Amino acid sequence: AILRVGAMKTTFENTLTWNLSNREYLRAGLAWNRYFSQSGAELGRGTFYNLEAGHRFRIEYPDLNVRIFQTRANFAATATDDPLMASLRPAALNTGSDAYLSSSYTQWGIAGGWGQTLQQRYTRAWRPFFDISLFHNSLTGSGRGVRLGVAGSVAGQDHLVFHFRQFTGTPG
What span, in angstroms and rounded, lies between the C-alpha atoms of 12 and 28?
Answer: 14
What span, in angstroms and rounded, lies between the C-alpha atoms of 17 and 67?
Answer: 13
State the first-to-last Cα distance of the chain, in angstroms, to the nearest integer: 7
What's this model's pTM, rounded to 2 decimal places?
Answer: 0.76
Mean pLDDT of 142-152: 92
pLDDT for 90: 65
What span, in angstroms and rounded, lies between the C-alpha atoms of 6 and 54?
Answer: 37
pLDDT for 32: 96
Question: How does pLDDT run across 69-121, given as a tens digit for each residue?
Answer: 999 999 998 866 667 676 766 665 655 555 677 789 999 999 999 988 777 77
pLDDT for 13: 94
The half-sphere exposure of 156 on its side-chain side, counting CA atoms within 13 A, is 2
